[in-house]
A and B are shown apart, each in its own frame.
Chain A
């Protein structure tokens, strides 16, 4: 009978712990949905923590789990909200906020520019032209709208997207980007590889190989520098005046990020947004949907100078090193202060190896770099080239390979 006396108690404890385990599993699922990289091992450790007495004090548990589950600054900042939402029942607001930010995580500024529209538009991806009409109409200014006002009415921007949606064109764009990427994997590093015709002696392998000669190094093993890709940082102008080209370039950037081991991408119009993470989405279509949403909605001109200032101040130290090439894709129509642009270009030029400025408008007949922006920037640019067709993109290849 004694066994009957003990078994319900045992069941009870088991039931409680099962409940906690289920709740914990649900929390892990929530975290994964919000973009946390949480594996089985972390789950086990969390269970161990709860068993160790952390579960009794929510505040302590939150801090402990925060350290365990976060892997980067963005996780770190979001965790408290998610935890409170899940365990303390402050549910609706913070949770949807966290999920929303996971979707468009890298572009709070752009998101706020568009208001709630980005959320609504995420669902149906193909129709990104429709909300943009409403967005652009009040903001389109005289000087701005001149070049593409008509084209927008004809939905020319849409044609560009459509053209790139044609499988053959996609294939071509990807191929160009991939080939570009391959030829650019040519930077020297200090990491050595064993080579027969290297310039430095590999003592370890030499001695090992010459023991049978009584230690006299007869056959020498040498090492040579391994080649390493350069880092490419792309800053893409997504303002209204560029709208006809952003689609193509987004495609190009996606290819570059795919192929390069080290590449970063930023979008700017009136603000700068970091988009590498969004671009690293495996599925090109989905990545582009996310980005075209980020890219549009700001017809109000380009503040290249301010965007560069943001870049120099917050991102440059992290993404640039001495083997970086910065590629700016913009028409140079600066609506902000051109002198600021000049200053920031100077600062940027000091930090990286090369600055390439691609200007799709350059190939237009009768175009001269008269825009104040481009005039201020020209002295710091190493290569100023048109890039309005796939062909002119390909023409860049030999130059970039030489970097």
Chain B
């Protein structure tokens, strides 16, 4: 029953999204007597809520099918198993293509509901935004119903499901996809507002869309950090970022969303860069769509895999072409009519925001080309190349590094015209901290590297500047500290990245009971392996003693788990952290006679990578708080400095 109910709910949702699109666009017209614009707006608002209800109902049906292990639903049979713990039955809903697309549409509907409920930026703008959001929802619902239906039945139903990829059976990955989708799809709201602004000619869209941009950015920041953390502790190689196309697909929208947040500040303040900000809003969601295409079409595993079953990929491609092409055509048609042309001096906040955008767009271009070039080359010429970390180290790293150097300047300079001497003089202590950080690193770190020294100097510069800024803003509203926190978070993450990348030590050995291993400052004793049964796996659990002064001070227990239902094995790492340093153990192959391969890593400062991201997200949350709670016309963040 639940399957049919879900199917029916999806069909209703598709119908409602079409109504919402038509009514929203009709309601965006100026009110004249008897043209029904007001009625259309009411219908659009109502259908947004209805859409949310029906998509939530469909999603609930799928969750029910997974929780009750209803294997007559093909999606459940292919991706679940009765022995799976309840939490992974639930998270298994989005651990597969069909379910994750339904989650995507659920998030889209949530944003549509929020747009309708909040009515930011006036009735006509909201109505047009709902119209665009309705078009997007209709396209994705059609995609689900026609190519990726999660409610298809199996007859006869199998007795047992095929199980979920064990790598996905992890709490980190339970939260990661919904978080990332909240970010990806959150950019649809600013996309819809931008397209609506082009349709209606409304200048206040940047302020109206700001909370949605912030929510999307915060969610993307957290989602990317969670994904990276998961890769760190789950994949068992101590790495935190692999420049994998799937990771890149989430980084590109983040880079554009970051540029958008900054550019939209100037647009809100003085109408500067108004067309550019519109273009960024379109580009941000376009990156989300392209990311979805990359991940969902199968094009990544191989160009040939895509060609052999092109239905889904082709559908998404048409959908993307429609959304991006349509938005760009609208942009080309309407943007010239918009008022543009702000006036500001060379030394001003506007200039720094422009530079921020230049570097972020170039950084995004880097990831874009690095991800898509090999695919295009393979498709066009059959030549296969790999674009790995060395490419990004030579292109992305210098561009992003240049951006980081400039970050502290922006908040110091006033709008329109600034005197750089008076504005930058308070930053001398930050320069001092940068020098101090460089000296400390040169004194302590081995080996000494130019990259490491530079990274710590820049981290000192970023954090020092944020401290200066925080001191100057004492007593201001919470939102005034948003940029302060976000920029400091960048510095914290930078230290973690540099520490882990440049000074990681590792050891790898075949260990028998009683064997000793040295890694970094630690001494480890291998105390053998015992067999442990989990709910749906069998594990070999190693017992490794951390030795200090001849005594075992702690036990670490990395595991190697075999999931019989899925026929896979997964390593479960053991990590001991002091925040300043991670000791990381992964158990490898059984070499017979109680001897196992043991890998150990010491990653200095590794936790700072994710701690920094958390600080950045907190910065975003402060700004959001300021926007939603304090209904002041201009947030305090912009009132400073010296105006």
Whether both chains belong to one complex is answered with: no
Q: Which residues of B contact A (CB under 8 A)?
A: none
Q: Which residues of A contact B (CB under 8 A)?
A: none
